Amino acid sequence: MEKLKRIIEEQGTVLSSEVLKTDRFLNHAIDPDLMNEIGTEFASRFQDLGIIRVLTIESGGIAPALMTALHLHVPMVFCKKTRPVTMCCPLSASVHSFTKNRDYTLCMEADLIKKGDRVLFIDDFLANGDAFAGIRSLVEQAGASLAGAGFCIEKSWQRGRKNVEASGVPHAVLASIASMSSEGIIWNEDQPLRLSAEQA
C-alpha cells in the first residue's frame, strides 16, 4: 500500500535494524485518514472469506482493526494484555512481547467469540509471529476458526512470516520491509493475499 509506505518513510524512525518506531501515525498518535484507508484495503482483500468478526490485541492493533471491521460491517474485539477484575470467564494464552521482551497473558471474555465464527486477526506489526500464535490459540479454544490475518507492517526476515505461511491461514501485509537501517528502508513487492503453498 503506497500511502502507508510513504508515511512510514516520512514519519517513521528506524530505531535499529530490528525495530521501527511508528508512534507518529499508527500506535501512539493515530492518523485517522490513514487508518480509514488501511481499513478499506484490508476489507477489500478479505471480503470474500466470510469473516464475521475481527480480532486484535491492545493497543497497537485497535485502530486498524476497528476500521477494517467498519468496512467489513462486522464487530471487532480486542484482547487484553492484563486481566481486569471485571473479566469473569477468560480464554487466555501466553505471548512473548517483541517490544517489551517479556511474556504476558493475552485474555478475552470467552463469550465474545462464538463456536464456528470465522475470525480475521488484524495487527500493526508482524515480527516473530508470537502475537499471531497467541490469537490462534484463543480462536481454537473458542472452537472458532482463524480465516485470515492482516498485518499493516511486516519485517519479512523475522520468524513471523514463515510461521504465518506455515499455518496455512490466508494473510495480507500492506507494507513489507525486506531490510532497514539508518540509510533507509528496502521494501518487498506488494502481494494482495498470500495463501499457503497448497492453497495457491
Q: Where on the chain is the footprint of ligand 5GP (CB under 6 A)? A: 19-22, 27, 57, 60, 98-99, 123-131, 160
- The x, y and z cell numbers of residue 164, run together, are 504465518
CB-hemisphere CA count at 13 Å for 18?
8
Q: Which residue has the cell 470467564?
A: 89
Nearest to ligand 5GP of 41, 123 (CB atom):
123
DSSP H/E element including 180: strand 171-181
- The x, y and z cell numbers of residue 37, run together, are 484507508
CB of 133 to ligand 5GP, least distance (A): 8
Nearest to ligand 5GP of 88, 93 (CB atom):
93
156: exposed, middle or buried (Cβ count in 10 Å: 0-12, 13-18, 19+):
middle
CB of 116 to ligand 5GP, least distance (A): 26
CB of 130 to ligand 5GP, least distance (A): 4
Q: How many CB atoms within 10 Å of residue 30?
A: 16
CB of 108 to ligand 5GP, least distance (A): 15
Nearest to ligand 5GP of 6, 162 (CB atom):
162
Nearest to ligand 5GP of 86, 95 (CB atom):
95
Q: What is the DSSP string of 41-105?
A: HHHHHHTTS---EEEEETTTTHHHHHHHHHHHT--EEEEBSS--TT--SEEEEEEEETTTTEEEE
Nearest to ligand 5GP of 86, 101 (CB atom):
101
CB of 11 to ligand 5GP, least distance (A): 13
